């Protein structure tokens, strides 16, 4: 098994080096070995290659060191790490982009693709204290319903609201606000009455600093 893995390492070493248009001489200099040693590694002729050398070459070739070791993971060196980008804050009344805000996501989880997310400013305090007026809610675009989650939705074409959605055994749906004193629970809906826009996955509590 070790021999098979090492042979795969050799294939990956050659693939990565040639992809980056790096010569044997350049790779050898970086790894502090002769170019003939690099060639032997690539041809699977020797197993005398240490993990620190793999890490040096992975960095030089700009690839994932675990991939370089022959394992079934992406070549991308950022695989499994958090990456920072931006997502749009949307004005739901006009559907216009108000601004962009930072968004951190895992590179190895397809559901965390930034294109699946947007953000809004809360227009009321129905979900206070979690989400008050002016706070930002980060929304994952709707794909499937999960009972008890909090969603951005519309009731029969009305204005968007944020509510926890509870589905009972008889198929009826109730909408719960956190601020129940001012926003009582709404009962006896069906999914035909609702347009779910997305799941609230995170909030930015600007109101806490007012």
The yes-or-no verdict on residue 14 having pLDDT over 60 is: yes
Q: Model confidence over 119-165: pLDDT tens digits?
A: 999 999 999 999 999 999 999 999 889 999 999 999 987 999 999 99
pLDDT digits (tens, 9 = 90+) for 61-115: 999 998 998 888 889 888 888 889 999 999 998 999 999 999 999 888 888 999 9
Show me where the domains of the chain are located.
2-68, 82-209
Q: Are 168 and 106 in contact (CB under 8 A)?
A: no
Residue 1 has pLDDT above 70, yes or no: no
Quick one: which H or E segment has residue 60? helix 51-61
Q: How far apart are CA 103 and CA 172, in angstroms?
A: 35
User: 2-68 architecture in CATH?
Assistant: Orthogonal Bundle (1.10)
Exposed/middle/buried for residue 118 (C-beta within 10 Å: 0-12, 13-18, 19+): buried
Per-residue model confidence (pLDDT) at position 7? 66
* Domain 82-209, CATH class in plain words: mainly beta
Largest Cα–Cα separation, the chain: 77
pLDDT at 56 exceeding the cut of 90: yes
Task: Specify the pLDDT at position 148.
Answer: 96
Q: Which two tokens stand for residue 157?
A: 């074409």
């Amino acid at each position: 098994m070790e021999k098979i893995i090492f042979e795969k390492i050799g294939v990956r070493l050659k693939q990565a080096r040639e992809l980056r248009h790096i010569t044997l001489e350049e790779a050898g200099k970086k790894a502090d070995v002769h170019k003939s040693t690099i060639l032997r590694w690539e041809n699977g002729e020797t197993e005398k290659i240490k993990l620190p050398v793999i890490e040096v070459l992975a960095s030089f070739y700009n690839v994932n060191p675990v991939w370089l070791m022959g394992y079934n993971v992406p070549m991308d060196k950022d695989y499994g790490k958090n990456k920072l980008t931006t997502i749009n804050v949307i004005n739901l009344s006009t559907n216009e982009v108000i601004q962009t805000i930072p968004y951190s996501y895992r590179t190895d989880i397809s559901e965390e693709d930034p294109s699946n997310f947007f953000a809004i400013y809360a227009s009321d305090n129905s979900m206070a204290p979690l989400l008050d007026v002016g706070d930002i809610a980060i929304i994952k675009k709707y794909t499937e319903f999960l009972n008890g989650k909090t969603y951005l939705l519309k009731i029969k074409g009305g204005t968007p609201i944020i509510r926890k959605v509870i589905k009972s055994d008889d198929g009826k749906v109730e909408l719960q606000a956190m601020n129940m004193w001012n926003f009582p629970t709404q009962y006896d809906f069906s999914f035909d009455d609702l347009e779910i826009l997305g799941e609230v996955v995170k909030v930015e509590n600007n109101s806490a600093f007012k």
